[in-house]
Each structure stands twice: as C-alpha cells, then as structure tokens.
Chains A and B, each alone.
Chain A
C-alpha cells in the first residue's frame, strides 16, 4: 500500500487526488474480497457424481470405467446406485431371512451381484452376455468384479439409495463388503452433485 502511495505521489497530476483514490481503492478491495469469499463457497470441486440407475452389464461397466478413469485424472468420484443399479451391489454369498413375499420375489428375480447382470442389448437368453464376457477376457477388458475392486482401491465412494433397498426388500446385510459404501437418500446425492463439476445419469 505504502509503495503504491509513494509511486502515485511521484506523478504531480495524481497528487491532489491520492488520498481519495486510496480510500476508494481500499473500499473496492474489501468489496471484491467479500465477493470472492462468496464465490469460493459456490465453487465446484474436480469431482464426478454419478447416478447408476441401470442394472445392465454394459451400463454398469461403463460407469466403473468412468469412475476409475476419473480418479486417474486426479478427480474425486462418487457413485449413487439406485433402482435397477442396486441389486448389482448384492453379495452372492450372503443370504438373509425375514423377507416378506414381495421381498423374496424381488430377491429371486433380480440379479445377485456383479456376476448376474446381463447385457442391455443382445442378451439372447444369456448367450450374448456369456459371449461378451469371454470376448472381454480375450481383449483384456477388465471384468465388472475387477473394476469394482479397482474402484474400491482407488477410493471411489459408493452410495446406495435407501429407498430402492426398501422398495425391493433388500437388507443392508446382503450387500457387498466395500470400503466407502454408505446408504443414503436423494439429499446426499444432490449435495455431492451440487459441488461436482461433472454429473452423470447412467
């Protein structure tokens, strides 16, 4: 500040208005600072928020490719599994009792974990999915199981929609063991999406 004032005084024309200008400048600076503080609070983070709505092999795989890729790019990633995406996170080895009739029906009809999910197109009674899986192996594309493990290792957070769980009669005890898996509602997603630079619905 002092330096600027001295510099200004060197030019005779500016001399008379120096005091006034300094005051005005300081006032403007304070206004700007407060506006920057507001903007800082609104600023988005380098984060990807994803809704995984689908429970198809191809779409879930794409979700995990983006999730792991985003961490590699130096971003954070949170995935929200809802509706048909929810059963993908069931653990094949776990089974729980105490479900009502509808819960049992959903439990039987919906896939139990990553190994059960089918292609959204060309499934052909499971033949297409089997062919795609062997093709993926041949072409060295990571399987859904491998992608899930990689996502966990990279610190991708997974949130599971509590409402979908309840609707389909899934219990927390039948979900996979995943570091960073939590159960939540829509507000959690919106809060994350609000601060994220990228939001996807898959």
Chain B
C-alpha cells in the first residue's frame, strides 16, 4: 500500500539486467486480474525508459514511479 495504491503482488527484480526486468514484469502482470496493480522493484537504470515503452506497447498502465536510491519502483496496473 502506497499513496492509496492497492498492490496485489510485488516483484523483486533487483540486480537483473536487460531484458530480464521487462520479461519478468510481462509474465508477472498476467498473474493478477485486470484492474489490479503490481509493484516491481528494479535496479536497472534502463528500466526508466523501458518500462513505459513496454507499458505503451502492451497496453498496460504505469500508475506511479518511485526512485529510492538505486532502486526504482514501478506501480503497474493490468489493463489488458
């Protein structure tokens, strides 16, 4: 729970390099229902551009992005 976002599942993708974060998150989003939100933690700086690109193409929605030191946290809502 962060800022009223109801997170269904959290994925720890820290330390993983390209293309793993995007591969894992694309699998992970299918583990929740449409409308639910997953939280993904990554240390890959490329994810800052990769995740929005993935969301745009796959039709899902990044609700919020947080940066805490090296760790980037994405809150992604399953739309499709």
- A interface list, Cβ under 8 A from B: 65, 68-69, 71-75, 139-142, 150, 154
Contact = CB atoms under 8 A, between A and B. Distances in A.
A75 B51 CA distance: 16
Sort A-B residue pairs by CB-CB distance and give the 10 closest, nearest first. A72-B26, A69-B19, A74-B58, A72-B23, A141-B17, A72-B22, A73-B57, A65-B19, A140-B15, A140-B17
Contact of B54 (A68, A73, A154): A73
Nearest to A67: B19
A74 B57 contact: yes
Contacts, number: 38
Interface in B39-61: 53-54, 57-59
Contacts of B54: 72-73
Max chain B C-beta neighbours (<10 A), residue from A73, A74, A154: A73
Contact of B23 (A69, A75, A141): A69
Contacts of B25: 72
Nearest to A150: B23
A149 B27 CA distance: 15
B17 A154 contact: no
A141 B19 CA distance: 9
